[in-house]
């Protein structure tokens, strides 16, 4: 509810993120309390079978927010059974009109919109991202994603195919079945929506494991699903750890599909577990080291600002962050200088303070890893221009950091840092530019800044990346597909494409007395 | 699914009787009005501003301006169009009782049906097509040579929508919803017999916040306002539902003017084929509803019921029972199934065709005349021993008159079923899998029902073969008819796959 509203302005709000509006930002609930801390199965709340709990930490302070039930294999087993029962032929979910699934998804979107201030505040508390981002980006995009997929529910169509002979042939696009979904901590609500949307639209049932760092908003949404009217067992949500709950889901013999978003390292484990168990279908959204190419003919102010956003957004905790910036020699020094000036303006601190663009990193482990990479960068000879240290002395804050004179083969230029560290490389000729951009085991996103039509077209064509942005960055419209080439993953989320990942095609052929065209 | 129906508003207040252009209410340029009549009492309900060419010109100008590049409507995100459409759906449900009451008053259809079917049908159209708004994708195509080729699915532009009187509210939305979802702008002419719910809809469109000029509504007559739309050089497409005779005029008008795209949903004389192995009770009941629903005023009415000879007599008996039991009376009475026919023209035409049936030798089993002495009520009428050459077997009656014909073999009945200028719908009742598919695939009809009738949804394409129409409404195919494909080809330095 809007009590008092405050106008917030700043260049970062008015550009870049797909849905940001210039509407006023309602005050956050700075004293926000989590309501749901247990395991959600069959529309009910349960303690863990083991009775164990784990703490979720506020990364701004390093202090515990609360304890949450710790789901392990026994809880996953119960959740999978509930999801399987809800998927049985003749169940309320299986006999429901497709259009009614759309109605339920729209209702869930309405409820999230109703509780937007609460959810945005809770997200900021648990994740540390600035509240204006939680409000204007995370929750808003979550609502749009669910509405987008609500519209698809009754439009998932098979075909009728003119095969040879006296036959009638058609395909049914059926739900895959019980889907395990393992989501990360960087955009908890939004990643949940990216997975729920297509899976539910297509008629699947779900067992979702939330990231242990950020379980709170995902559990609240589970209760909203009850309020929206989803039948029991359709959605089940289990907070817990990867090696226990996540592994149990990936290895489960009665789970038809697993979708994972997280690190490439864990992606390997999920894929192997799927293969060793029951060959469940997989989609993987993994890491990236996305190239961002800035030509001399680009609008340099726009390129600087957008490249800054592309790497620093969400404390650098974006799989698609533009972390290898190739700047044409002619404008290199100017670009670097302007980037440093921009980074100086980036305020780091309490995410509930609208003057701060940057909150803390998610936890101590990530915090240490980022600082480690900064050290590696220094040792490898890159030139540190600004930042490079912890910010403040409480919580996991890191200063916005920029390195220039970065070389392609430096370890820290090839590995994913996942922090507020901008790396600026140089190019002087185009001959090997595409090779350099593609010289990575990753292939998640890429961008180019140029006014030249041919350069733009060639880059879009030649770069091996799932999303290519031209004179822009970080657009996450629900209708556009997103996913990785190479070791950034396989499969696509969002758009119509995601539906394929949650659909099993059945072909039916019927003998008929006489086929006529 | 039927739910408990709230009591109707017997004398709903008539709030809107003017022409709706640019989100404003205006009088006709000529100053003329026309009456709309209550078919139960034969009395005038109210007078409505009568739109003519001058009013259509204003409406088209408003729509054209609202469609200019750079306009709020053209700049709006597709997902936002969907949000507006969903809001419209919400408002319609808010006013469900009022709209259903107004529809019953103006059309004569039973209020219970207006509440449970007509209004929700309109809302389903809105919600289904809202879901398509941000999903009308183009393609990228690997053409030969050093090119990058893509297509855009652009809105076709100014849509002239001409709605009929049998489902005024529902069919108006059947046209408006996909047009708006696709980004088009609309000039709607409701049928002169039933303008009231369309005008109320206009007020909801304004309340939702569609930009001015996106939807304009011009009540009036076909030969004047309707013709003006069809002949207008700035209307990009016409979508018409009505009689085949008028459909021909509209297509000719398009040819004469600017070759505007034309989609036509016209008449039918749909064959409903019942085999001896069908579930007889179920088939007789479904066949009864297939004909008598909406007082027989359905383009897809199963108006040639072909029954296999082995079960013919029993089928006729059951059909007579159902017809006699079907209640006729005040549409605001929740127990009544049939109201009056729409107006005196239809009323006379139906009685005339009933006479022809008697004269040409069909056996009148029940009904056959006027019901009561006020209002355009006609008795539920059943003819048996009908043969293909009779007028009642060839011409669209659009009234509560069931024709039951006899057939022997499947090959014979398929030939007879197809022996018509129409081709809107068809049905087959059988338990046999081979017969079901053989009929479904051989009959020339846009919709074929197997062991069912009247099952329809905005998600499934609907339309006619032959002179039952051109184009399809509903489904992805239907909304694509409101799109114009633009192909863009860009030269690139070197194409790679």
- Angle subtended at Cα B480 by Cα B476 and Cα B483, rounded to the nearest 5 degrees: 155
Tell me which of B1, B131, B435 to substitute to probe the interface with A (most A C-beta atoms closer than 10 Å): B131
CA angle A237, A242, A247 (to 5 degrees): 90
Residues of B designated catalytic: 265, 299
Token pair, residue A150, equals: 């609500």
In the block, tokens 């919580």 appear at A395
The closest CB to that of B438, out of A453, A454, A513, belongs to A513
CA distance A132 to A122: 12
> Does B124 reach chain A within 8 Å, measured CB to CB?
yes
Contact B128 A154 (CB under 8 A): yes
Q: Between the CA atoms of B303, B304, B310 and B311, what dihedral angle is there, to the nearest 10 degrees? A: 0
- Torsion, Cα of B58, B61, B62, B65 (10° steps): -160
Taking contacts as CB-CB distances below 8 angstroms, the residues of chain A near B79 are 144, 147-148, 478-479
The residue written with tokens 């494909």 in the block is: B485
Q: In this complex, is the C-beta atom of B415 within 8 Å of any C-beta atom belonging to chain A?
A: no
Q: Are B219 and B195 in contact (CB under 8 A)?
A: yes
**Is residue A19's pLDDT more than 60?**
no
The alpha carbon of residue A294 is apart from the nearest alpha carbon of chain B, in Å, by 19
- State the angle between helix axes of A98-114 and A216-228 in degrees (0 to 180), rounded to the nearest 10: 130
> Is A288 exposed, middle or buried (CB count within 10 Å of its CB: 0-12, 13-18, 19+)?
buried
Residue B133 sits at the chain A interface (C-beta within 8 Å): yes
Q: Are strands A39-41 and A44-46 parallel, antiparallel or unpaired?
A: antiparallel
Q: Which of B79, B124, B131 sits opposite A144 (nearest CB)?
A: B79
| pTM flag (> 0.90) | yes
Interchain contact, A150 vs B83, CB within 8 Å: no
Band the pLDDT of A247: cuts 50, 70, 90.
very high
Q: Is the confidence at residue A12, as pLDDT, over 90?
A: no
Which position among A305, A319, A500, A501 bears the catalytic label? A319
| Residues of chain A found within 8 Å of residue B493, distances taken between Cβ atoms | 454, 457-458
Confidence band for A23, pLDDT divided at 50, 70 and 90: confident
**Helical ranges in B182-269 per DSSP H:** 196-208, 227-231, 244-256
Measure CB to CB from residue B134 to each of A148, A157, A516 and give the nearest one. Answer: A148
Task: Specify the 3-state DSSP secondary structure of B56.
Answer: helix
Nearest-angstrom CA–CA distance, A354 and A359: 11
Say if the Cβ atoms of A157 and B135 lie within 8 Å.
Answer: no
pLDDT < 70 regions, chain B: 1-3
Q: Which two tokens stand for residue A321?
A: 């962050």
| Residues paired with residue A236 on neighbouring β-strands, in sequence order | A207
Tell me the chain B residues in contact with residue A515 when contact means C-beta distances shorter than 8 Å: 441
Residues of A with CB under 8 A from a CB of B: 99, 102-103, 106, 144, 147-148, 150-155, 157, 168, 453-454, 457-458, 461-462, 478-479, 496, 510, 512-516
B/e letters for B268-307, b = 16+ CB within 10 Å, e = fewer, are bbbbbbbbeebebeebbbbbbebbbbbbbbbbbbbbbbbb
Residues 6+ apart with CB under 8 A from A110: none
The single-letter DSSP state of residue B309 is G
Q: State phi, psi for B140 to the nearest 5 degrees.
A: -110, 140
Q: A257 φ, ψ to 5°?
A: -160, 145
Cα B12 to Cα A300: distance, rounded to the nearest angstrom:
64
Given an 8 Å threshold on Cβ–Cβ distance, is B496 in contact with A147?
Answer: no
Contacts of B124 in chain A (CB under 8 A): 99
Per DSSP, the three-state class of B171 is helix
Return the pLDDT at B3. 59
pLDDT at position A13: 41
CA dist B293 → B40, B141, B398, B496 (Å): 18, 47, 11, 59
- Can you tell me the distance from the alpha carbon of A92 to that of A89, in angstroms, rounded to the nearest whole number? 9
Q: Give the best residue of A452, A457, A458, A496 to mutate against chain B (max B CB count within 10 A).
A: A457
One-letter-per-residue 3-state SS of B24-46: EEECCCCCCEEEEEECCCCEEEE
Task: Say if the Cβ atoms of B437 and A462 lie within 8 Å.
Answer: no
Q: Evaluate if residue A327 carries a pLDDT over 60.
A: yes
pLDDT greater than 60 at residue A101: yes
pLDDT of residue B113: 98
Among candidates B190, B180, B232, which has minimal Cα distance to B73? Answer: B180
Residue in chain B closest to A453 (alpha carbons) equals: B492
User: From the CA of B125, how many Å to the nearest CA of chain A?
Assistant: 11
How confident is the model at residue A256, as a pLDDT?
A: 98
Name the region of B391 (left: φ>0; alpha: ψ -120 to 50; beta: rest). alpha
CA-nearest residue of chain A to B134?
A: A479
From the list A152, A512, A515, which residue is nearest B131 (CB)? Answer: A152
CB B53 within 8 A of CB B215: no
CA distance A512 to chain B (A): 6
Euclidean distance between CA atoms B84 and B89, whole angstroms: 9
> For residue B291, what are the contacts with CB-CB under 8 A and spacing of at least 6?
B301, B302, B303, B305, B400, B401, B402
Report how far residue A269's alpha carbon sits from residue B274's, in angstroms, rounded to the nearest whole number.
Answer: 60
Nearest to B442 among A154, A453, A516 (CB): A516
Q: Return the structure tokens found at B76.
A: 């709006």
Minimal Cα distance from B460: which residue of A?
A155
Mind telling me how many Å the CA of B88 is from chain A's nearest CA? Answer: 15
Q: Sort residue A295 into left (φ over 0), alpha (ψ -120 to 50) or beta.
A: beta
- Give A432's contacts (C-beta < 8 A, 6+ positions apart): none
The catalytically annotated residue of A285, A357, A416, A501 is A285
* Tokens read off for B391: 């007028």
With an 8 Å Cβ cutoff, are A151 and B438 in contact? no
Query: Are A146 and A109 within 8 A, CB to CB?
Result: yes
Q: What is the pLDDT of residue A14?
A: 37
Tokens found for residue B170: 């529902």
Give SS3 for A512. coil
Q: Report the distance separating Cα B186 and Cα B178, nearest Å.
A: 11
- No. of helices (H) and no. of strands (E), chain A: 18, 21
Q: What are phi and psi of B42, to 5 degrees?
A: 65, 15
- C-alpha dist (Å) from residue A15 to A12, A21, A356: 6, 9, 16
Residue A22 predicted with pLDDT over 70: no
Decide if A386 contacts A402 (C-beta within 8 A).
Answer: yes
Q: Residue B469: what pLDDT?
A: 97
Interface of B with A in 450-479 (CB under 8 A): 457, 459, 476
**Calpha distance A221→A181 (Å, rounded):** 15
Q: In angstroms, how far apart are the furthest CA atoms of chain A?
A: 81
> Cβ–Cβ of A457/B86 closer than 8 Å?
no
Q: Is B385 left (phi over 0), alpha (psi -120 to 50) or beta?
A: left
CB pair distance less than 8 Å for B79 and A479? yes
């Amino acid at each position: 509810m809007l009590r008092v509203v405050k106008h917030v302005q700043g260049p970062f709000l008015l550009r870049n993120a797909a849905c940001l509006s210039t509407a006023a930002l309602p005050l956050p609930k700075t004293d926000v309390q989590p309501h749901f801390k247990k395991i959600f199965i069959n529309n009910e709340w349960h303690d863990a079978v083991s009775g164990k709990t784990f703490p979720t930490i506020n990364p701004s302070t390093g202090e515990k927010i609360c304890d949450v039930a710790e789901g392990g294999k026994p809880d996953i087993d119960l959740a999978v059974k509930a999801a399987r029962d809800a998927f049985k032929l003749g169940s309320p979910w299986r006999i429901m009109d497709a259009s009614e699934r759309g109605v339920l998804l729209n209702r869930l979107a309405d409820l999230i919109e109703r509780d937007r201030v609460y959810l945005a505040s809770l997200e900021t508390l648990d994740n540390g991202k600035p509240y204006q981002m939680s409000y204007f980006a995370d929750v808003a995009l979550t609502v749009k994603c669910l509405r987008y997929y609500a519209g698809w529910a009754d439009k998932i169509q098979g075909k009728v195919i003119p095969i040879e002979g006296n036959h009638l042939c058609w395909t049914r696009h059926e739900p895959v079945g019980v889907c395990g979904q393992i989501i990360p901590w960087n955009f908890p609500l939004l990643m949940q929506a990216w997975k729920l949307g297509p899976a539910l639209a297509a008629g699947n049932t779900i067992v979702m494991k939330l990231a242990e760092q950020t379980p709170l908003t995902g559990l609240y949404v589970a209760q909203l699903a009850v309020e929206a009217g989803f039948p029991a067992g359709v959605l089940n949500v289990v907070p817990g750890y990867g090696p226990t709950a996540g592994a149990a889901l990936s290895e489960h013999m009665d789970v038809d599909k697993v979708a994972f978003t997280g690190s490439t390292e864990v992606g390997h484990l999920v894929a192997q577990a799927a293969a060793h168990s029951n060959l469940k279908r997989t989609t993987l959204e993994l890491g990236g080291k996305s190239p961002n190419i800035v030509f001399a003919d680009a609008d340099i102010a726009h390129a600087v600002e957008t490249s800054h956003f592309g790497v620093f957004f969400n404390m650098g905790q974006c799989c698609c962050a533009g972390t290898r910036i190739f700047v044409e020699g002619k404008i290199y020094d100017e670009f670097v200088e302007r980037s440093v000036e921009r980074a100086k303006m980036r305020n780091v601190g309490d995410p509930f303070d609208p003057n701060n663009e940057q909150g803390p990193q998610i936890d101590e482990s990530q915090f240490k890893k980022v600082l480690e990479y900064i050290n590696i960068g220094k040792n490898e000879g890159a030139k540190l221009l600004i930042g490079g240290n912890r910010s403040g002395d409480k919580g996991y804050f890191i200063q916005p950091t920029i390195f220039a004179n970065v070389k392609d083969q430096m370890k820290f230029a090839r590995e994913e840092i996942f922090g507020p560290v901008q790396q600026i490389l140089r190019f002087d000729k185009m001959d090997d530019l595409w090779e350099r951009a593609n010289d990575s085991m990753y292939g998640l996103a890429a961008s180019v800044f140029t006014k030249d039509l041919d350069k733009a077209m060639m880059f879009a064509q030649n770069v091996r990346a799932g999303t290519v942005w031209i004179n822009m960055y970080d657009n996450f419209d629900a209708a556009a597909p997103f996913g990785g080439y190479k070791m950034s993953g396989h499969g696509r989320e969002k758009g119509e494409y995601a539906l394929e990942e949650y659909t099993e095609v059945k072909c039916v052929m019927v003998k008929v007395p006489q086929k006529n065209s | 699914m039927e739910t408990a129906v709230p009591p109707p508003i017997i004398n709903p207040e008539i709030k809107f009787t003017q022409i709706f252009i640019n989100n404003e209410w205006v009088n006709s340029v000529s100053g003329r009005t026309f009456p709309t009549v209550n078919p139960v009492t034969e009395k005038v309900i109210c007078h409505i501003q009568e739109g003519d060419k001058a009013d259509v010109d204003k409406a088209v100008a408003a729509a054209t301006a609202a469609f200019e590049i750079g306009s709020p409507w053209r700049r709006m995100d597709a997902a936002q169009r969907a949000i507006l459409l969903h809001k419209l759906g919400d408002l319609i449900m808010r006013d469900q009782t009022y709209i259903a009451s107004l529809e019953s008053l103006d059309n004569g259809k039973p209020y219970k049906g207006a509440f449970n079917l007509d209004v929700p049908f309109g809302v389903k159209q809105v919600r289904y097509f809202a879901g398509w708004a941000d999903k009308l994708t183009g393609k990228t195509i690997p053409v030969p040579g050093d090119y990058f080729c893509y297509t855009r699915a652009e809105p076709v532009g100014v849509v002239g929508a001409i709605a009929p009187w049998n489902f005024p509210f529902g069919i108006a939305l059947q046209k408006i919803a996909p047009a708006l979802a696709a980004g088009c702008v609309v000039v709607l002419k409701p049928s002169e017999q039933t303008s009231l719910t369309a005008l109320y809809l206009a007020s909801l469109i304004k309340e939702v916040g569609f930009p001015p000029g996106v939807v304009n509504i011009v009540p009036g007559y076909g030969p004047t306002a309707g013709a003006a739309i069809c002949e207008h050089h700035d209307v990009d497409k016409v979508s018409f539902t009505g009689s085949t005779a008028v459909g021909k005029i509209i297509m000719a008008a398009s040819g004469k003017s600017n070759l505007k795209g034309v989609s036509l949903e016209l008449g039918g004389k749909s064959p409903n084929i019942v085999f001896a192995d069908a579930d007889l009770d179920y088939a007789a009941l479904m066949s009864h509803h297939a004909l008598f629903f909406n007082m027989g005023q359905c383009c897809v009415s199963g108006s040639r019921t072909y029954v296999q000879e082995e079960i013919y007599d029993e089928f006729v008996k059951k059909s007579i029972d159902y017809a006699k039991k079907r209640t006729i009376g005040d549409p605001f009475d929740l127990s009544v199934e049939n109201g009056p026919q729409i107006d005196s023209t239809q009323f006379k035409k139906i009685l005339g065709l009933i006479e022809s049936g008697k004269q040409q030798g069909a056996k009148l089993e029940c009904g056959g005349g006027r019901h009561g002495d006020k209002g355009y009520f006609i008795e539920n009428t059943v003819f048996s021993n009908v043969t293909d050459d009779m007028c009642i077997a060839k011409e669209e009656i659009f009234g509560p008159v069931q024709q039951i014909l006899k057939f022997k073999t499947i090959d014979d009945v398929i030939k007879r079923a197809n022996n018509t200028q129409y081709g809107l719908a068809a049905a087959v009742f059988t338990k046999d899998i081979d017969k079901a598919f053989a009929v479904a695939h051989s009959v020339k009809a846009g919709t074929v029902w197997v062991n069912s009738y009247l099952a329809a949804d905005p998600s499934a394409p609907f339309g006619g073969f032959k002179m039952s129409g051109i184009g399809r409404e509903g489904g992805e195919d239907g909304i694509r008819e409101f799109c114009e494909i633009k192909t863009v080809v860009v030269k690139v330095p070197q194409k790679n796959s």
